[in-house]
Amino acid sequence: MRRFLIAAAAALAFATTVEAATYRLGGIEVVQPWSRPAAAGTNGAGFFTVTNKGKAADTLKAVETSAARKVEMHKTSMANGVMSMQRLDAGLTLKPGESVTFAPGGYHLMLIGLAKATKAGDVIPATLVFASGARLKVEFPVGSGPSAMPGMDMDHMKH
* Near Cu ion by CB under 5 A: residue from 21, 25, 31, 85: 85
How buried is residue 75: exposed, middle or buried, by Cβ count under 10 Å (0-12/13-18/19+)?
Answer: middle
Residue closer to Cu ion by CB (options 36, 74) is 74
CB contact at 8 A, 32 and 55: no
The reply to whether 36 sits near Cu ion by the rule CB under 5 A is no
What SS3 class is residue 10?
A: helix
Least distance from Cu ion to the Cβ atom of residue 74, Å: 3
Least distance from Cu ion to the Cβ atom of residue 65, Å: 15
CB contact at 8 A, 78 and 44: no
Residue 79, phi then psi, degrees to nearest 5 = -135, 125
Least distance from Cu ion to the Cβ atom of residue 95, Å: 24
Least distance from Cu ion to the Cβ atom of residue 133, Å: 26
CB contact at 8 A, 156 and 150: no
- What character string, x for contact with Cu ion (CB under 5 A) and - otherwise, covers 93-132? -----------------x----------------------
Which amino acid would we find at residue 125?
A: P
* Near Cu ion by CB under 5 A: residue from 74, 102, 111, 124: 74
**Binding residues for Cu ion, per CB under 5 A?**
74, 85, 110
